[in-house]
Chain A
């Protein structure tokens, strides 16, 4: 039976272990970033791989990103129309659809979808490479895993995820416009009037800035998790799950922080 002293010490021990574990993650993540920046000089290696990866992310994710964004736009328009029917002028639907999609739903939903699609893939790929010693093999050949594996994935994400977000915004707005017209006596002129009424060019920049930060989380966190995966298939599974959860939470935290910093400085 555990003594009273052991029971009293168990909580601080658990907290201590958790703090040390978190600090170790921060340390390893910082080292990965430092290695990544150092390996940027090896552009001959990472450039062609980045192109392949960018094609993979762009073409492979376009359909699901557009699908999600189209439904988000349509539902936003339908619910806005329902809530404001008889209370506010219909052009408000245009305002709400455009602002909701561009400021929030376009970048966040795209990021969450890609966290599952790309993040899980990166963590599983790199985790498998780690446990099957492919990463060790790369190092044993005197080659940098950063320039061969990490930089192409991160750069491709940083370029392609904002591009996908722009497409998602456009399709979301168009789907909302079309849906609103199906259920409300709303003309094209009403919708565009509402869309432009509260529109600020910064809204578009804000959307892309968010997408860029989300891209950092979607690529770096899963790459880090996969790169440090251990203990066989179980380790790869754990790395993949942790990567998706951690990336999704980071996206939501970044979303709030960026809203505070950029919209209410």
Chain B
């Protein structure tokens, strides 16, 4: 279980998180919505300990992430797969080596035979052909890079998957494929997922619950139905903006 209690974070004078309370139960998929620049990615990075809070508590499996030692943090991170917004693939390595790096168990990682089967397995899970393994990130399209990023994140068989804007910058077709992939992985691997996004349609399709981050706080955490039924003006304004943009695009 992931739980954030009263988390505060500011960069210089800018307050990013102002008392965030947020929780994700085992096995569920939660979409964290919010306009760009509201601190969704910052919140996600707190969960994996890439950013430390100024105040508040972040618990993953009852472990306080901010106070963990180096080894404990590394051990915790090996149970979490993180999908970065732009893939964050290592451009000096080919796809095989990138995914191999995601095999976090040291023994498995050193076992060439295991890696030779695990990497194509991960590629298959994200609907990519085994031949992609020989390519370098620069040779891949945006959608493929995102999928390789997901393949790397699942290579270590994590318990949690954190997605940072997995569909941003993609055309609707590729965005739908990635959304489908998020749902498929949650079902087949049984992982607990948190997806940061500003795509309301995708969030509703994929997640069990949605949360809206606005002005440094979680405005609402509930099912998509509860979200749509909410009378909170901030939620209404966010939904109207999103639906407006979709109808404009149509």
| Chain A interface residues (CB < 8 Å from chain B) | 38, 44, 129, 132-134, 136-144
Q: How far is the CA of A86 from the CA of B10 in the complex (A)?
A: 74
Question: Is B227 in the interface zone, CB < 8 Å from A?
Answer: no
B85 touches A133 (CB 8 A): yes
Task: List, in ascending order, chain B residues with CB within 8 A of A142's CB.
Answer: 73-78, 104
B86 touches A140 (CB 8 A): no
Task: List, in ascending order, chain B residues with CB within 8 A of A136's CB.
Answer: 45, 50, 84, 88
Question: Is B102 in the interface zone, CB < 8 Å from A?
Answer: yes
Task: List, in ascending order, chain A residues with CB within 8 A of B102's CB.
Answer: 141
Q: Which of A38, A129, A140 contacts B50 (CB 8 A)?
A: A140
A137 touches B88 (CB 8 A): yes
Q: How far is the CA of A136 from the CA of B77 in the complex (A)?
A: 12
Task: List, in ascending order, chain A residues with CB within 8 A of B82's CB.
Answer: 137, 140-141
Task: List, in ascending order, chain A residues with CB within 8 A of B45's CB.
Answer: 136
Which residue of chain A has its CB nearest to the CB of B93? Answer: A134
Task: List, in ascending order, chain A residues with CB within 8 A of B91's CB.
Answer: 132, 134
**5 closest pairs, A vs B, by CB?**
A142-B77, A142-B74, A137-B88, A133-B88, A140-B82
Q: Which of B48, B70, B89, B110 contacts A140 (CB 8 A)?
A: B48
Q: How far is the CA of A77 from the CA of B97 in the complex (A)?
A: 52
Task: List, in ascending order, chain A residues with CB within 8 A of B88's CB.
Answer: 132-134, 136-137
Which residue of chain B has its CB nearest to the CB of A139? Answer: B50
| Residue with the highest number of chain A CB atoms closer than 10 Å, among B75, B76, B88, B110 | B88
* Residues B206-233 near A (CB distance < 8 A): none
| Chain B interface residues (CB < 8 Å from chain A) | 45, 48, 50, 70, 73-78, 80, 82, 84-86, 88-91, 101-102, 104, 110, 152, 156
A141 touches B101 (CB 8 A): yes
- Give min CB distance, A145 to chain B, whole Å: 11
Q: How far is the CA of A217 from the CA of B99 in the complex (A)?
A: 34
Q: How far is the CA of A141 from the CA of B152 in the complex (A)?
A: 9
Inter-chain pairs besides A133-B86, A140-B80, A141-B156, 16 sampled, C-beta below 8 Å: A38-B70, A132-B91, A133-B85, A133-B88, A134-B88, A134-B89, A137-B84, A137-B88, A137-B90, A138-B90, A140-B77, A141-B82, A141-B152, A142-B74, A142-B78, A142-B104
- Give min CB distance, A91 to chain B, whole Å: 52
A-B contact pairs, 26 of them (CB 8 A): A38-B70, A44-B110, A132-B86, A132-B91, A133-B84, A133-B85, A134-B88, A134-B89, A134-B90, A134-B91, A136-B45, A136-B88, A137-B90, A137-B152, A139-B50, A139-B77, A140-B77, A140-B80, A140-B84, A141-B77, A141-B101, A141-B102, A141-B152, A142-B73, A142-B74, A144-B74
Q: How far is the CA of A74 from the CA of B90 in the complex (A)?
A: 44
Task: List, in ascending order, chain B residues with CB within 8 A of A38's CB.
Answer: 70
Which residue of chain A has its CB nearest to the CB of B110? Answer: A44
Task: List, in ascending order, chain B residues with CB within 8 A of A137's CB.
Answer: 82, 84, 88-90, 152
Task: List, in ascending order, chain B residues with CB within 8 A of A132's CB.
Answer: 86, 88, 91
B50 touches A141 (CB 8 A): no
Q: How far is the CA of A66 from the CA of B162 in the complex (A)?
A: 51
- Give min CB distance, B160 to chain A, whole Å: 11
Q: How far is the CA of A43 from the CA of B73 in the complex (A)?
A: 20
Which residue of chain B has its CB nearest to the CB of A39? Answer: B70
Task: List, in ascending order, chain A residues with CB within 8 A of B152's CB.
Answer: 137, 141
- Give min CB distance, B90 to chain A, whole Å: 6
- Give min CB distance, A48 to chain B, whole Å: 12
- Give min CB distance, B11 to chain A, whole Å: 11
Q: How far is the CA of A62 from the CA of B84 in the complex (A)?
A: 39
Task: List, in ascending order, chain A residues with CB within 8 A of B156's CB.
Answer: 141
Q: How far is the CA of A133 from the CA of B78 in the complex (A)?
A: 18
Q: A134-B91, A136-B45, A136-B50 are contacts. A141–B86 as well, Cβ < 8 Å?
A: no
Q: How far is the CA of A55 from the CA of B237 in the complex (A)?
A: 58
